[in-house]
Chains A and B, each alone.
Chain A
Amino acid sequence: MAMSEPIPAIKKFSDLANPTVFLSLTARIVPYMAGLTALLFALGLYYAFTSEGDYQQGETVRIMYVHVPAAWLSMMCYSVMAASALGTLVWRHPLADVSAKAAAPIGAGFTLLALVTGSLWGKPMWGTWWVWDARLTSVFVLFLMYLGLMALTRALDDPSKSARVSAVLILIGFVNIPIIKFSVDWWNTLHQPASVMRMGGSAIDGEFLRPLLIMAAAFTLLFFTLHFLAIRNEIWRRRVAAQRRLAARMANREG
């Protein structure tokens, strides 16, 4: 079994990009990551439901503790994919393509979560489920890009062919990330501008900032745990495909 293979020594940073090293590393650290994720979620949810309501938003401020981390993660996941796309195009490393392909469904999940929870907050607070303002529209475009990239990488079964095409598309789509981030400053949007990561420090009271940051940490760790496991699955999928091809060649030779 692949997991019982001897582990090559890690001597330099690029050794981590060796699939066998990655698999053994994942098997070792993922249980700790998952445990810490659960712990942070427990703590974050405790603060999310024991902190006070906002004087304007009332109870709906609690939606922010999932909406904002999900929205941050939707952008971070795409940035991880863009970094992986560079790895594919510049160093032509096969694990970089595995990382990009594995991240796309997770990013789509977080983006959908941000859109739906935003809508559920918008209805009581803005009086509408949805408006086509710059922030909401650009995040919706991000969701469609995730779906498009998933469809593309899964339509071409030869990873060596799909890797470069999807890497180029990911990098072209990266232009959307600063648009999402700065849409609230560049255009007049119904969506409010940034209040946590902004010049002059956070504009949020500690009462709300505490659950928000803990939930953000929990979401981030959840993303990396899921991403590591999805990369592992994709490495296994490619090994199965390679071994089946090998078996078919051997059967041909014998027959």
Chain B
Amino acid sequence: MTHAFYVTLSYAFSVLIIFALIGWIWMDGRARRRELAELEAAGIRRRSASPAQKAKGA
């Protein structure tokens, strides 16, 4: 097999790994953001949220 074959395969695999990492972190972030929004909508807030925020949410 030619050298170009090994070079192409190396770069293709690099793209695959890097995009898998980016995709996983992006989807994980989106899911967590949705969960926090759901909790917020249910009126559950962090204990450290300011009283003004709590009053608004209640």
Contacts and interface: CB of A to CB of B under 8 A. Distances in A.
A193 interface: no
Contacts of A5: 49-50, 53
A66 B10 CA distance: 8
Nearest to B38: A240
Contacts of B45: 243
Contacts of B7: 59-60, 62-63
B44 A243 contact: yes
A62 B39 CA distance: 49
Given A123-B6, A247-B44, A240 B32 contact: yes
B29 A233 contact: yes
Contacts of B26: 229
A120 B6 contact: yes
Interface string A120-141: 1101100000000000000000
A70 interface: yes
Contact of B13 (A120, A229, A244, A247): A120
Given A236-B29, A240-B36, A247-B42, A109 B20 contact: yes
A100 to B, nearest CB: 16
Contact residues of A: prevailing secondary structure: helix
A178 interface: no
A105 B32 contact: no
B36 to A, nearest CB: 6
A2 B11 CA distance: 39
Given A109-B21, A240-B35, A244-B39, A229 B6 contact: no
Nearest to B32: A236
A113 B18 CA distance: 9
Q: How large is the interface on A (under 10, 10 to 19, 20 to 34, 35 or more residues)?
A: 35 or more
A220 interface: no
A66 B14 contact: yes
A112 B17 contact: yes
A121 B6 contact: yes
Contacts of A113: 13-14, 17-18
Interface string A149-187: 000000000000000000000000000000000000000
Contact of B10 (A121, A226, A239, A250): A121
Interface string A232-255: 110011011011101100100000
Closest 9 CB pairs of A and B: A236-B32, A59-B3, A63-B10, A117-B10, A240-B35, A66-B14, A120-B10, A233-B28, A247-B44
Interface of A: 1-2, 5-6, 58-60, 62-63, 66-67, 70, 105-106, 109-110, 112-113, 116-117, 120-121, 123-124, 222, 226, 229-230, 232-233, 236-237, 239-240, 242-244, 246-247, 250
Given A5-B50, A116-B10, A117-B14, 14 more contacts: A59-B3, A59-B7, A66-B11, A105-B21, A105-B24, A110-B17, A113-B13, A113-B14, A117-B10, A230-B25, A236-B35, A240-B39, A244-B44, A246-B47
